[in-house]
């Protein structure tokens, strides 16, 4: 009996104090994906990488809006979104206390505006993404004036670019209209 008690006191208390005291997580713990909408360029790379389709994007051409959405109830915390994000807008955090009483609280959304095509005036790509590409070109060493000139080409939708390619074959380039020499 004494031996047993001695063993009990020597072992001490193995139970964590968790709900009453915070529990430290390991450094590589994969918890709630922390999203910073201000760093997001709405490129949709994360929604393609997400194996569980917890991340999704809806484009509303009529309203010129693109909505990014995450459902924490579907996320499997694999970290692929963090891997592909070009701007470090999403990263897994050690946060694990995600339980909710209402299903609606599992959703986080962000809305981005789309830039309209310079030729056909249809919204086609997020404005922030185009701005980011121009910033990247300038950072890569392109003179600012040239980069701004390239913007005219970036702000043309793929369908219009294709049409332009065809018309150039026949001796007419639509991009001349917007001051862009091919």
Partner 1 sequence: MSTESTARPIVASPPPRSDSEQTLRLKKALLQDIRRSVYVFRIDSGGCNACDIEIFAAITPVFDVERFGIKVVPSPRHADVILCTGAMTRAMRMPALRAYDAAPDPKIVVAYGACGCSGGIFHDLYCVWGGIDKIIPVDVYIPGCPPTPPATIYGFALALGMLDQKLKASHHVEAQDEQVAVSHPRIPYALRTALEREARRMAGYRQGREIANNFMTLLERDEARPLTQRVDEFVARENDPRLTEIVRNLEAICIGGNGAEP
Residues that bind partner 1 (CB under 8 A): 14-16, 18-19, 23, 28, 32, 37-41, 47, 51-56, 71-77, 79-80, 82-83, 87-89, 95-101, 103-113, 128, 131-132, 135-136, 139-141
Residue with tokens 């999704």: 56
For partner 1, the closer CB: 94 or 173: 94
For partner 1, the closer CB: 91 or 153: 91
Closest distance of CB 166 from partner 1, Å: 31
Alpha helices in 12-68 (DSSP H): 45-49
Long-range contacts of residues 78-82, Cβ cutoff 8 Å, at least 24 apart = 78/30, 78/51, 78/52, 79/30, 80/46, 80/49, 80/50, 80/51, 81/33, 81/46, 81/49, 81/50, 81/55, 82/33
Closest distance of CB 133 from partner 1, Å: 10
For partner 1, the closer CB: 93 or 173: 93
């Amino acid at each position: 009996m004494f031996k047993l008690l001695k063993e009990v006191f020597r072992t001490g208390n193995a139970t964590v104090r968790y709900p009453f005291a915070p529990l430290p997580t390991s450094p590589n713990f994969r918890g709630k994906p922390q999203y910073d909408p201000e760093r997001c360029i709405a490129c949709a790379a994360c929604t393609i990488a997400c194996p569980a389709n917890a991340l999704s994007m809806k484009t509303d051409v009529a309203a010129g809006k693109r909505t990014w959405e995450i459902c924490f109830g579907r996320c499997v915390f694999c970290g692929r979104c963090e891997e592909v994000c070009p701007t470090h807008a999403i990263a897994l955090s050690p946060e694990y206390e995600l339980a909710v009483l209402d299903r609606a609280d599992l959703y986080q959304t962000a809305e981005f505006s789309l830039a309209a095509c310079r030729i056909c005036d249809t919204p086609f790509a997020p404005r922030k993404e185009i701005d980011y590409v121009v910033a990247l070109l300038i950072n890569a060493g392109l003179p600012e004036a040239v980069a701004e000139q390239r913007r005219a080409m970036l702000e043309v939708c793929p369908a219009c670019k294709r049409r332009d390619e065809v018309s150039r074959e026949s001796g007419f380039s639509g991009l001349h209209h917007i001051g862009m020499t091919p």
